[in-house]
Amino acid sequence: MPRAEHRSGSGLVAAVCIGGPALVSLIPMAAAPAMVAMARHFGASADSQLFSQIVMTLPAAMLVLSAPLAGLLAGKIGQRAVLLASLVLYVIGGAGVLLISSSEALMALRVLLGIAGGGVLTSCLGLIGDHFEGHARERLLGYATSAASLLAGLALVFGGRLVDVAGWQAPFALYLLGIPTLLVAMAVIRDMPVRAAEQEARAAAAPRGHAREIGKVWPYYLLLILLTLGMFTPAIQAGFVLEARGIGSQQTIGSVIAATSFVAMFTAWAYGHLRRWIGLHGFLVIDAMCMGAGIVLIGLASSTAMIFAGCCLVGIGAGMSEPAIASLIFRKASAASHAIAMGLIVSALNAGQFFNPLIFDPLRRSYGPGNAFLVVGAVLLVVGIYIILRHRRDLLQKESET
């Protein structure tokens, strides 16, 4: 079989595969700079803070549900059809907030946006699996996460400025970026022809075969949920810590929190290159330990500089967790189950994001804001130590591996 990088239709195919995850990163991050202003708009109570956090993370709940369905649907009608339909819904569900004012309409559009995001991210990951293999695929996964982190960081910085200038709805205009992506995808994305042998493998894999394949890798999905919970802690929680310290400018808050995304951009870009020396479980150790240390630092912070440093540490792990786990699942699950496996990765990513405010809220009420960060950070540190002990033979890359 020819190598996947030679089977790619064009560089624009890779560009769409990178651009799709970047658009999905905007689903929470375009709303993040508006959270504090949104809480003020709907009322200044603690319940309004939770409401604004739920508005940010509600699409994640729909992504959890829609992504596996998108993976199954892509196996029947093709990745292209799922991607194009999802991009249309993305623009409607995202930019539609500019035209509404009620909380009910806001929640409805966020639900629609989550459904769209599940299709966009699942189909793009599936296209990467179809068109690329080996280290070329790992590099592209890293580049996709890097681009997503860059766009998320820019959304936090400039979205905060938009809130200061034009109100809490203004950052939702960023979802209009789905339009050029849709136009390029229509022109260049084609489904890879499925060979007879692969068709037979897919038929044999469903549905019991899929369950058996997913059963091999389910601990990695649980780990991804935890890592994503940590990854989104600065974006969802740190803004309220900064506001409590008297920092009222949304642009300043967004700039501090954006450190997570900008650091993640560099580490995700470096992921494919570092694979020559670091094993996949070695990346998971780095992810868990850096996120845990960063969240603990935010909880102990006595200054804005400490919060900034904590966000940077979280960003180191945030950039490499998704490509590392996706690479592990691509390796351990059969090709016939890749579509549904990638859908479940999207579900795990967004489950962690959705659970973040639901976990932090009772911890905050019981132990106080700072101690809530300490508890979550400590859990991540313990998980990092467990991975070291459990997978110590895969912390460094072996020369024999390809």
Rounded Cα gap, residues 63 and 117, in angstroms: 6
What pLDDT score does 4 carry?
38
Rounded Cα gap, residues 375 and 248, in angstroms: 27
Rounded Cα gap, residues 259 and 75, in angstroms: 38
Q: Where are the domains of the chain?
A: 4-394
pLDDT values of the chain reduced to their tens digit, one per residue, 402 residues:
334 344 444 678 889 999 999 999 898 878 777 777 777 776 654 456 677 777 777 888 888 889 888 988 887 888 899 999 999 999 999 999 888 877 788 889 999 999 999 999 989 988 887 777 777 787 888 899 889 888 988 887 788 788 888 888 888 999 999 999 999 999 988 887 655 445 555 555 555 556 777 777 889 999 999 999 999 898 888 877 777 777 656 667 777 888 888 899 899 889 888 888 899 999 999 999 999 999 999 988 888 888 899 999 999 999 899 889 988 887 887 766 766 777 788 788 778 877 888 899 899 888 887 889 999 999 999 999 999 999 988 888 765 454
What's the CATH number for 4-394? 1.20.1250.20
Rounded Cα gap, residues 318 and 265, in angstroms: 9
Rounded Cα gap, residues 18 and 7, in angstroms: 17
pTM: 0.72
b/e code 3-24 from CB counts within 10 Å (16+ = b):
ebbeebeeeebbbbbbbbbbbb
Sequence-separated (6 or more) residues with CB below 8 Å from residue 86: 70, 115, 116, 117, 118, 119, 120, 123
Rounded Cα gap, residues 223 and 328, in angstroms: 12
Rounded Cα gap, residues 250 and 157, in angstroms: 9
What pLDDT score does 193 carry?
67
What pLDDT score does 295 carry?
95
What residue spans of 246-399 are helical by DSSP H?
A: 250-274, 280-300, 304-332, 338-367, 369-390
